[in-house]
Amino acid sequence: MTQQKTILRALAGETLATPPIWMMRQAGRYLPEYKATRAQAGDFLSLCYNSELAAEVTLQPIRRYGFDAAIVFADILLLPQALGADLWFVTGEGPRLSTITTADELAALKPVEAIHDTLNPVYETVKILSRELPQETALIGFAGAPWTVATYMIAGQGTPAQGPAHALKAENRPLFEGIINLLTESTIAYLSRQIDAGAEVIKIFDSWAGSLEGDDFTEFSVKPMARITAALKERHPDVPVIVFARGAGPRFAGMHAATGAACIAIDEGVTAEWAAEHVQKDGCVQGNLASSHMVTGGQTLIDETRRICRAFSKGPHIFNLGHGITPDADPTNVQLMIDTVRSGA
């Protein structure tokens, strides 16, 4: 049955008449059923670490929409927490972390093999999902890419231009490289355990890759993702990897070869037509409808969805947004998008 799952077929390089579809952040704040479950959990981190409730919110968009894949509900900052960083969420403002800006603070973090004690609830969520998802629905595990996670660990929160991370990279490159190396090795261990628990696809999110310039983009976005992908391939040769270097622009070209990934997820910073010519020629692509259409809907949503499907129709394609759906999205627009894709747009 596994090989009949449409996303796995696309990731294996098959061109399908109707592209499989899932949506970044498909389990989340735009859905009333998610809000109810989060209220039951009490707070965001409690929801992430409650395996039964995390599985429930992962299943909610599958029940409502019938997406071709589910992505386990978790957060990219659970990994630095598992390494020993303090993590908390400020309502209306987002995550906060204790900072890692000195060699002593880096040395005080836990070794890679210790992360699983904290992350076991995530693996349990994956196990529940592997039992409860419909047979035709693929299960995606994920992690943040080392650069993106490092930006939060260094600044202690999200920052508009990742300035603190860039500053540390410039001022103390050995320390910065040490943070990246620790995150790379711990991400390999984390994702491998997700696969052991039942994840069939892995997604690596480098949400802030676009702020890296020149050789730094290669050194701190592409190469760490390539190391992770290669290690996972060695341990789990049949599990495909999707990488997402948000903001890469023209640098999306050649990323299949550079990272070893089966699929390159693209944002709306490049057109589907450009990506079909320069990226899809090397393998599967995922994307790239602007998430704003989930708010505005209407004929423009239909037209843009059809345009993207046409542009990618000659090669392997997974339909998705160019980034995560936003909390102000209208759930009826999600259904409209799915209906448009599946109507043979």
Residues taking part in catalysis: 25, 29, 38, 75, 152
Residue by residue, what is the 3-state secondary structure of the chain? CHHHCHHHHHHCCCCCCCCCECCCCCCCCCCHHHHHHHHHHCCHHHHHHCHHHHHHHHHHHHHHHCCCEEECCCCCCHHHHHCCCCEEEECCCEEEECCCCCHHHHHCCCCHHHHHHHHHHHHHHHHHHHHHCCCCCEEEEEEECHHHHHHHHHHCCCCCCCHHHHHHHHHCHHHHHHHHHHHHHHHHHHHHHHHHHCCCEEEEEECCHHHCCCHHHHHHHHHHHHHHHHHHHHHCCCCCEEEEECCCHHHHCCHHHHHCCCEEECCCCCCHHHHHHHCHHHCEEEEEECCCHHHHCHHHHHHHHHHHHHHCCCCCEEEEECCCCCCCCCHHHHHHHHHHHHCCC
Tell me how far apart the alpha carbons of residues 306 and 310 are, in angstroms, rounded to a whole number.
6
Neighbours of 319 (CB within 10 A): 26
Residue 76 tokens read as 């990219």
